[in-house]
């Protein structure tokens, strides 16, 4: 049995939540390995919608263990609030079904403040973050001044760590014309939530190693998408963590040999939230059609997503940077009813044909998409559960996507309902 990594192959919002939930029935453990509560997954189970931000998708399934790995930055108050929201929907989260890495860094109110100051400033580059403090928390982690989950277990030593952290942040706040932070207030912020978080704390790398040795199947759940990767994405309009599949090992404490299959979740068209390049973006009638039919609003922020045609160049590139073995193609039904459908198959840059997205910011903004046009289909694909249920032109579209990106479709999703899924290849059996 292969352990499976699920990553987004575009700019996020590809429908990972449903696919992870669908796969979690076959897994024993579901692991989040990067990002924070800026991620958003909507699961629809028996007509009930569950909106998750920080918690692994597996927590809504009885008998599954959800794990928040060391690569995640954890807002303890957001965690407690999310657990409370699920409890109101009848889902109980306890240490029996959730563990948090003791060495995961915490997101604090000062991180949210700094994120907001930067995004609302009249100077500098606006990235289009969720203002939830993700980036500043990762900065402190790399700067070796972060407060981590394990620090909540030793409150008497917390003051020295707070002083070290505030030596940096208060200097930044002075430069931004903001009031300095009182160390006592930050201590109380942490102490007030410690007893609610500590029961979930664990040595995750040991837990996962033991699970592997006992033959347990592990599903690694990525957040955002590969094009938002801090190294391989559309920099600087990216998130603050590595979102490619290789981070599954680093962000959970397992070796790269623990990964057997990488599944790239891929929307049948393209969307992104926030600023940055988007070669195949459609701002007119087509973009409005895709956004309306696809309900393209952020799970976390409610922001309207930018929409465009499927970009095979980008997906082909992320398949390589993430080592994707197969894709789960989602939201095919959104394309129902279109007379014609376009696919971006290449770019031109200053009149020269290229088959990849350049790394330079100016070049990314300057590429011009080259399209192929395919015949659309009038029949509905919504709710299809076998190839025989699909219109012939829809099948042609899917097969052409496979050819262009160089990877097979392992799963095909035809609605938000988990059972409206066509299984071609079970990643756990690969």
Q: Which residue has the tokens 């903001």?
A: 178
Which residues pair with residue 73 across a beta bridge? 105
Which residues are annotated as catalytic? 13, 41, 141
CA 272 – CA 263 distance, rounded (Å): 20
- Domains, the chain, with CATH or none: 4-101+200-263 (3.40.440.10), 105-197 (1.10.300.10), 266-423 (3.90.170.10)
CA 240 – CA 133 distance, rounded (Å): 10
Phi, psi dihedrals of residue 309, rounded to the nearest 5°: -70, 160
- What is the helix (H) or strand (E) element at residue 306, kind and residue range? strand 306-308
State the pTM of this model: 0.93
- Annotated binding-site residues for IMP read 13-16, 38-41, 130, 144, 224, 239, 303
Contact by Cβ (8 Å): 183, 162: yes
Phi, psi dihedrals of residue 367, rounded to the nearest 5°: -65, 145
Q: What is the DSSP string of 195-248?
A: HHHGGGEE-HHHHHHHHHHTT--EEEE--S-GGG-TTTSSTTSS-SS--STTHH
For every one of its 430 residues, what pLDDT tens digit does the chain have, with 9 covering 90 and above? 689 999 999 999 898 878 888 888 889 999 999 999 987 777 777 778 888 899 998 788 889 999 999 999 999 999 999 999 999 999 999 999 999 999 999 999 999 999 888 888 756 666 667 788 999 999 999 999 999 999 999 999 999 999 999 999 999 999 999 999 999 999 999 999 999 999 999 999 999 999 999 999 999 999 899 999 999 999 999 999 999 999 999 999 999 999 999 999 999 999 998 899 999 999 999 999 999 999 898 666 677 899 999 999 999 999 999 999 999 999 999 999 999 999 999 999 999 999 999 999 999 999 999 999 999 999 999 999 999 999 999 999 999 999 999 999 999 999 888 788 999 999 998 7
CA 302 – CA 107 distance, rounded (Å): 21
- Annotated binding-site residues read 12-18, 38-42, 130, 144, 224, 239, 299-305, 331-333, 413-415
Tokens of 178: 């903001």
Contact by Cβ (8 Å): 8, 245: no
Tokens of 337: 């009813």
Q: Which residue has the tokens 């590429």?
A: 367
Of 326, 265, 312, nearest to 13 by C-alpha is 265
Contact by Cβ (8 Å): 336, 303: no
Which residues pair with residue 372 across a beta bridge? 343
Contact by Cβ (8 Å): 353, 387: no
- Annotated binding-site residues for Mg(2+) read 13, 40
């Amino acid at each position: 049995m292969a352990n499976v990594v699920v990553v987004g192959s575009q700019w996020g919002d590809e429908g990972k939540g449903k696919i992870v939930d669908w796969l979690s029935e076959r897994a024993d453990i579901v692991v989040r390995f990067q990002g924070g509560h800026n991620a958003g997954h909507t699961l629809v189970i028996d007509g009930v919608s569950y909106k998750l931000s920080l918690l692994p998708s597996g927590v809504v399934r009885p008998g599954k263990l959800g794990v928040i790995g060391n690569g995640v930055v954890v807002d303890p108050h957001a965690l407690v609030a999310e657990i409370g929201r699920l409890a109101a929907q009848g889902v109980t989260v306890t240490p029996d079904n959730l563990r948090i890495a003791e060495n995961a860094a915490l997101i604090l109110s000062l991180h949210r403040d700094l994120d907001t100051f930067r995004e609302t400033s009249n100077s500098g580059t606006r990235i289009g973050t969720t203002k939830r403090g993700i980036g500043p928390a990762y900065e402190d982690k790399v700067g070796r001044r972060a407060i981590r989950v394990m620090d909540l277990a030793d409150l008497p030593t917390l003051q020295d760590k707070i002083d070290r952290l505030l030596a940096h942040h208060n200097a930044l706040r002075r430069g931004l014309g903001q009031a300095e932070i009182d160390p006592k207030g930050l201590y109380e912020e942490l102490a007030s939530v410690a007893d609610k978080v500590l029961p979930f704390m664990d040595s995750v790398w040991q837990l996962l190693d033991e699970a592997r040795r006992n033959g347990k199947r592990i599903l690694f759940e990525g957040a955002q998408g590969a094009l938002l990767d801090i190294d391989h994405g559309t920099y600087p309009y990216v998130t603050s963590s590595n979102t490619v599949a290789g981070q599954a090992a680093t962000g959970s404490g397992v070796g790269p040999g623990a990964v057997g299959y990488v599944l790239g979740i891929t929307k049948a068209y393209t969307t992104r939230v926030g600023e940055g390049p988007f070669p195949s973006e459609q701002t007119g009638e087509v973009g409005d059609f895709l956004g309306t039919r696809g309900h393209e609003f952020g799970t976390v922020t409610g922001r309207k997503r930018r929409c465009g045609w499927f970009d095979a160049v980008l997906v082909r590139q992320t398949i390589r940077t993430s080592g994707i073995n197969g894709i789960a193609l989602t939201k095919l039904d959104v394309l129902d009813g279109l007379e014609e459908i376009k696919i971006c198959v290449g770019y031109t840059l200053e009149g020269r044909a290229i088959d990849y997205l350049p790394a330079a910011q100016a070049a990314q903004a300057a590429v011009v998409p080259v399209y192929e046009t395919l015949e659309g289909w009038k029949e509905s694909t919504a709710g299809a559960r076998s190839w025989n249920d699909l219109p012939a032109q829809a099948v042609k579209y899917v097969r052409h996507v496979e050819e262009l990106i160089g990877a097979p479709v392992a799963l095909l999703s035809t609605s938000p309902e988990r059972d409206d899924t066509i299984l071609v290849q079970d990643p756990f059996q690969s």
